[in-house]
Amino acid sequence: MFNGNRWSGGRQLYWGIIIFLLFFFLTMFFYDETILFKIIVNLVMALVALAITVRATGSLRGIHVKITFSCCIIGWGLLAICSIIVMVVLSNLPITIGQVFRSNHFLLDTTAALAAAILEESLCRGLFLIGFLKIGVYRGSSCNLTRSAVYSSFLFGILHMMNMLAGHPTIVLQQIFYAFAMGVFLAALYITTNNLFWPILVHFILDWGPLVTSSDNEVSSWGIILAVFLPILIINVIYLICIDRQLAAKVL
């Protein structure tokens, strides 16, 4: 399951925690700095996190899950893709990306999104997800893929708590929830493709927008948030359970 991994699961987790805490404290320490300075710091942190992830796992292909695409897995996989398409349409993502190209800060907007994608995917999928997977294999845990995806996605959601420094508590709580749901999808994408490049790319596209928009300070309806992101969470959990059951059947 693990391609050329050099570190134990525990070592990956504590390095992930170190990066997590370092990013949190740097965010607070540089809170009053210029946007350009903070983007540069985030980009450096992202590249460091990616380097540590590659060092720990051997490459961007840190895992190799042999999936047989049965009707169950294909069906739930297609539903997962459809749920993401619905989210993209309802969030007006194409319009948001279009605003980037019309912006005077194209390079800053793009670099900020890329840094966030590299940092968060290296940390949450590269270190935390694989770390939990290794520990699960060692302990012989059932539904290891699903459990590890949920655990790492929970930490992915918690990572967004630092937005409490600048955002309305309700907005941040909503961010934590949909980050958790999207984290499970990104974990499923990583497990399916066996390559961290794809979660980084998707994450980048989803984050690609103007650094400041009018919607940043608007509280969305919890009904809308749940209607959009709860299906993403449930469908991807079921998809991962299908893969777990298939892998367990192969062992038997």
User: Which parts of the chain sit beneath pLDDT 50?
Assistant: 214
Give DSSP secondary structure letters for the chain: -BSS--S-HHHHHHHHHHHHHHHHHHHHHTTTS-HHHHHHHHHHHHHHHHHHHHHHHSSS--B-------HHHHHHHHHHHHHHHHHHHHTTHHHHHHHHHHSTTHHHHHHHHHHHHHHHHIIIIIIIIHHHHHHHHHHT-TTHHHHHHHHHHHHHHHHGGGGGGTS-HHHHHHHHHHHHHHHHHHHHHHHHHT-THHHHHHHHHHH-S-SS-GGGGPPPPHHHHHHHHHHHHHHHHHHHHHHHHHHHHHH-
Partnered with residue 2 across adjacent β-strands are 63
- Specify the pLDDT at position 54: 94
CA torsion sign, 230 to 235 to 238 to 244?
negative
- Specify the pLDDT at position 4: 67
The rounded percent of the chain whose pLDDT value lies above 70 is 94
CA torsion sign, 27 to 163 to 213 to 207?
positive
Alpha-carbon gap, residue 87 to 66, rounded angstroms: 29
The candidate with the shortest Cα–Cα distance to 119, out of 23, 8, 188, 208, is 23
Alpha-carbon gap, residue 76 to 81, rounded angstroms: 9
Alpha-carbon gap, residue 130 to 137, rounded angstroms: 10
- Specify the pLDDT at position 214: 43
- Specify the pLDDT at position 32: 86
- Sketch the domain layout of the chain as residue ranges: 9-251
User: pTM of the predicted model, to two decimals?
Assistant: 0.93
CA torsion sign, 3 to 141 to 183 to 41?
negative
- Specify the pLDDT at position 169: 85
Burial group, residue 138, by CB count within 10 angstroms (0-12, 13-18, 19+): exposed
Alpha-carbon gap, residue 185 to 200, rounded angstroms: 12
- Specify the pLDDT at position 233: 98
- Specify the pLDDT at position 212: 59
- Specify the pLDDT at position 118: 98
